[in-house]
Amino acid sequence: MLEISTPGGLSTDSDGESLTEAEQAQLERERTLEAARTQAQRLSALLRLSAELGASFDEVDICRRVVHGLHDTLGYDLLALLLVDQATGDRVLTASVGFEQVPSRLRPGQGLSESPLLDGKLHYAPDVTQEPRYVPAIGLGAEVDLPVAIGPEVLGVLIAESRQSHAFDQDDFEVLTAAAQQAAIAIHNARLHDQAQRQIGERVGVEAELRRYQEHLEELIEERTADLTDSEKRYRSLFDGVPVGLYRTALAGQVIDANLAQVQMLGYPSREVLLAASSADFYVNPEERAQWQALMEREGVVRDF
C-alpha cells in the first residue's frame, strides 16, 4: 500500500518491508503525475489571470489584479508591482499585497528591483540580508525581481518576496515570468486604449487590435482547457487503474483522494465513504502515523516507511 501526501512530499507504507522494484517504479510514476498535476493547476491559474487582465483597461486595476491573483490563487505571500515614471525614472508603487510597509517610490540607484530595469532580465537574491542595496520591507528572506516589459521597453518591475531565504526555484521563476509578461501586455493594451480615447481617427484601429488580442486569448484558453481536461482524464485513468492502493492526504490526516484499489483493500463501500475518514484510521498502530508525520515535517519526504 502506497501513501502519497501533499503538501510536503511523498511517503510509502509497505507494512515495514522494503519496496520492490515494481513499487518503486509505481512511486516514481506517482511523483511524475503529481508534478504534472501541479503544473496543470498553475497553468490554469495563469490562464484565468490572463483572461482577467484582458478585461481591464485601467493599468492600476491591472496591477492590483496581478498581485492579488498571484497571492490568492498561486500562494505567493509578498508581492509588489511598480511602474516606471517616465519623467523621473523612479519606480512608483502601483499595487502590493502582504507587505506591512513598502516604499511608495524608489529612485534610481535604490533597491534590488532596479536591476531588471537596466538589463531586462530576472534577478534573484536568495538571501536579502546579504544584499547591501536591499530596501527593507520585511527585512529577511529571498526576493525575485522581474521586468514588466514589452520588447525592449521596460514598463515596470514585479517583485516577489518571501520571509524565508532560498524560497524560490525554477518553477517559481517560470510562473512569475509568465505573470510579468501578461501584466506587460495588459498594461500596454490599457495605454493604447487610453491613447485611443484621446485621439480622433486612431481609435478604430486600436480597438480592432484589442479585439484580435481578446479573440486570440479566448482561443488559447479553450485549447488549454481541453489539454487540461485530457490530462486530468489520463491521470484519473492511471490512478484508478493500478492494482496498488494509492491515496493522498494532507499532513493533518484528511484524505484528499484515493483510488479504487485502496477502497477495496480497506473494505470501504465507496470512495466517498473513504474520503470522509482520516488516514490515521488506516494504521494498525496509530502511533506509526505520528512517527510518519514527525519525519515528514522534519525531512519533507519519507521513504521506505
Amino acid in position 43 = L
DSSP H stretches of helix in the chain: 21-54, 59-72, 115-119, 170-198, 203-241, 260-266, 271-275, 287-299
Closest by CA to 155, choosing from 221, 215, 89, 218, is 89
Report, at the CATH architecture level, how domain 59-198 is classified. 2-Layer Sandwich (3.30)
Joined together, the cell numbers standing for residue 241 give 487503474
- Give the three-state DSSP class for 162: strand
Least confident of 24-33, 131-140, 197-206: 197-206
Distance between CA 33 and CA 49 in Å, rounded? 24
Joined together, the cell numbers standing for residue 158 give 514585479
Joined together, the cell numbers standing for residue 115 give 536591476
Name the pLDDT band for 233 (thresholds 50, 70, 90). Answer: confident
Report, at the CATH architecture level, how domain 7-55+207-305 is classified. 2-Layer Sandwich (3.30)
List pLDDT tens digits, range 9-51.
334 444 445 678 777 777 777 777 776 666 666 666 666 767 6
Tracing cell 515535517 back to the chain, one arrives at 297
List pLDDT tens digits, range 238-281.
788 888 888 888 777 788 888 888 899 889 999 899 888 888 88
- Give the three-state DSSP class for 87: coil
Residue 227 clears pLDDT 70, i.e. is over it: yes
State residue 87 phi and psi, 5-degree precision.
Answer: -75, -35
Name the pLDDT band for 201 (thresholds 50, 70, 90). Answer: low
Distance between CA 177 and CA 85 in Å, rounded? 22
Average pLDDT of every residue of the chain: 82
Residue 154 clears pLDDT 60, i.e. is over it: yes
The average pLDDT across 73-93 equals: 92
Query: Across the strands, what pairs with 258?
Result: 247
List pLDDT tens digits, range 96-130.
998 877 789 999 999 999 999 999 999 999 999 89
Percentage of the chain beyond pLDDT 70 is 85
Contact (Cβ atoms closer than 8 angstroms) between residue 74 and residue 68: no
pLDDT of residue 38: 64
List pLDDT tens digits, range 52-62.
776 778 899 99
Domain ranges of the chain: 7-55+207-305, 59-198
Q: Do the domains 7-55+207-305 and 59-198 sit in the same CATH topology, yes or no? A: yes
Distance between CA 76 and CA 97 in Å, rounded? 9
Amino acid in position 253 = G
